[in-house]
Structure 1
Amino acid sequence: MMTRSATLTLLSVAAATLPGALAWGAMGHETVAYIASNFVAADTKAYFQDLLDDTSADYLASVAAWADSYRYTTAGKFSAPYHYIDANDSPPSSCGVDLDRDCADGACIVNALANYTSILLDGGASDANRQIAAKMVIHFVGDIGQPLHCEALEVGGNDIDVTYDGDDTNLHHIWDSEIPESVSGGSSLSSAKSWATTLTTAIKTGEYKSQMTGWATGLSVATPATRQATALQWATESNARVCDTVLVDGVSAVEGEDLSGDYTDAAQPVVRLQIAKQGYRLAKWLDAIVAAASST
């Protein structure tokens, strides 16, 4: 069996050549999932532990990066466009997501999150399909919080070459991995768990306490339209960070530059906020799914 580190190495190689890959990296996705597990209701925990056949504390985190592995398989390659939405806006002067313009063929993260949620709520869906849907939902709620997963410019930043601490990479990749890891202190599962604990405290009693309730404003899984509207709201919020942080001074200010210094210092608070926000939102999204499923 391939080890987790070997799997991540192969995925990192793939991420270097394919657009929109590995939002937040495995560690970031695991952090989102651990935060969610700290906020879900008891009924939600029991529901998803049963569905995922995992009664450990890692039941969400252990599948949080599964969708990134799946997209590189023959069976799962259809799902690659589901990880992002290509907002055809004009950062840094203008940011915005237009679903008709940016998801004309229907294949984007906004619709994917709504559609896989619908499968979870479908009482006639098989356990196998509902399990896949759960893994997708857990992952996509994380993906939609990465600003460059909600941006078309230069293939979501994949084609903007930069360096980081002397190593050649691209802008998308450093937002997926290097900047989050500069905050958490590492890329391991233990780093994710530790960072999630810190962010959970910030949400419950610290800097994010006053914002927490607002993060779930408008959240609804009641109908396909409300699921789509909630996902679109989240994508629009993430996309706005492209103008105010990611590319605040335009492409020319970052291309070819080493971004491990002042740029990272400015980006870290945004990354912390987006991870914390999506972790909390994932908990409330899963709670809403279980509440809706229980009422039918």
Structure 2
Amino acid sequence: MKSSTAVISLLSAAAPLASAWGDLGHQAIAYVAQDFLSSETKSWAQDILSDTSTSYLANYATWADTFKYTSAGSFSKPYHYIDANDNPPSSCSVDYDRDCDGGGCVVAAISNYTGIMQSDSSSTDQNQALKFLIHFFGDIHQPLHDEALEVGGNDIDVKYSGSSTNLHHIWDTNMPEQYAGGYSLSDARAWATELTQSIKSGDYSDQSDDWLDGMDIDDPKDSAMTWASDSNSYVCTSVFSESQSQIEKDMDLAGDYYDQALPVIQVQFAKAGYRLGAWLNLIATGSTS
């Protein structure tokens, strides 16, 4: 991981990597995806997951974060991010050959588990692959999961509403939970309903078709790279925008920074859910809708 004096000049003790978007975000994204699944895809997914509840995707949205800390799942830890070795805020970019090392990354993981879903793999393998995809679509849309700087912001100490935390964590958890007013499954469902309405007939209705540009089920790696590059661009424009480039140690980011970041969080939740729904439709039926 490299640092940039243009952005910060501080390091904290190494901290555990956070979960992209936290439970609330991953569940909200899964609910948005559910809202855009065809009836055929819904039945297909419910059969694979053995879950016919109204939260059949959302119930497994955080499974991968629990699994990675087990002995059986430790191999999957690098699959939650891609370390873009770029130079924010002056330049942002993701390069697969440069940034996806031998241990794997979220782009390779989406490609791999998509292939398993399209194959004649066992029901157990398909169950696991689907749960990974539900989660990794959330991960790849969190800008700091597409960035190497200071371990994706984990090593940047800040405060949020007076509490000590780090930059990665406030994007994952503090800011989404502030907007939602909680972190329960019902909070995630309420936020997803709002986002789905925005996609269908609200603020995102005139741009959502563009979110599927570059989506090719026969080339999942390039598709995922498109999403990673899109998310990474916000590292320069929002996470470390010119107005926010001097993030100082223990700075409290619950005010203006939150106000500037919230629209990005909203649109990234919406993109992740809409793209996940379209991707699962493609796998199950060959059509995005």
The residue type equivalent to 1:18 in the other structure is P
* Structure 1 range deviating more: 86-95 or 174-183: 174-183
CA distance in 2 between partners of 1:191 and 1:117 (Å): 29
Which residue of the other structure, out of 257, 275, 284, is the alignment partner of 2:278? 284
Q: Alignment partner of 1:67: what SS?
A: helix
- TM-score, normalising length: structure 1: 0.90
Which residue of the other structure, out of 172, 185, 190, is the alignment partner of 1:194? 190
CA contact (8 A) 2:34 2:57 kept: yes
Q: Alignment partner of 2:246: what SS?
A: helix
Deviation at 1:186, TM superposition (A): 1.1
CA 190–104 in structure 1, closer or farther in 2 if over 3 Å, else same: same
Instruction: Specify the alignment match of 1:56 in structure 2.
Output: 53
Which residue of the other structure, out of 259, 269, 276, is the alignment partner of 1:265? 259
CA distance in 2 between partners of 1:133 and 1:121 (Å): 10
CA contact (8 A) 1:160 1:251 kept: no
Instruction: Specify the alignment match of 1:42 in structure 2.
Output: 39
Deviation at 1:228, TM superposition (A): 0.1
Which residue of the other structure, out of 217, 220, 240, is the alignment partner of 1:221? 217
CA contact (8 A) 1:121 1:292 kept: no
Identity fraction in percent: 52
CA contact (8 A) 2:15 2:155 kept: no
The residue type equivalent to 1:281 in the other structure is R
Runs of 4+ displaced beyond 6 Å: none
* Structure 1 range deviating more: 275-284 or 249-258: 249-258
Q: For 1:123-178, what per-residue CA distance to the aligned partner results, in whole angstroms no more than 9, with x for missing partners?
A: 1x110011000000010011100000000000000000000000000000000001
Deviation at 1:292, TM superposition (A): 4.5
Deviation at 1:106, TM superposition (A): 5.5
Instruction: Specify the alignment match of 1:96 in structure 2.
Output: 93
Count of aligned pairs:
273
Instruction: Specify the alignment match of 1:130 in structure 2.
Output: 126
Deviation at 1:232, TM superposition (A): 0.3
- TM-score, normalising length: structure 2: 0.92
1:180 correspondence with 2:176:
yes
Q: For 1:216-250, what per-residue CA distance to the aligned partner results, in whole angstroms no more than 9, with x for missing partners?
A: 1121112xxx1000000000000000000001136
Q: For 1:26-45, what per-residue CA distance to the aligned partner results, in whole angstroms no more than 9, with x for missing partners?
A: 11000000001001111100
Instruction: Quote the RMSD (CA, aligned, Å).
Output: 1.4
CA distance in 2 between partners of 1:253 and 1:106 (Å): 31
CA distance in 2 between partners of 1:104 and 1:69 (Å): 23
Which residue of the other structure, out of 140, 152, 156, is the alignment partner of 2:152? 156
CA distance in 2 between partners of 1:155 and 1:142 (Å): 18
CA distance in 1 between partners of 2:103 and 2:286 (Å): 25
CA distance in 2 between partners of 1:206 and 1:254 (Å): 37
1:233 correspondence with 2:226:
yes
Deviation at 1:17, TM superposition (A): 3.2
CA distance in 2 between partners of 1:201 and 1:165 (Å): 30
**1:67-146 correspondence runs (5 A):** 67-105=64-102, 107-123=104-120, 125-146=121-142
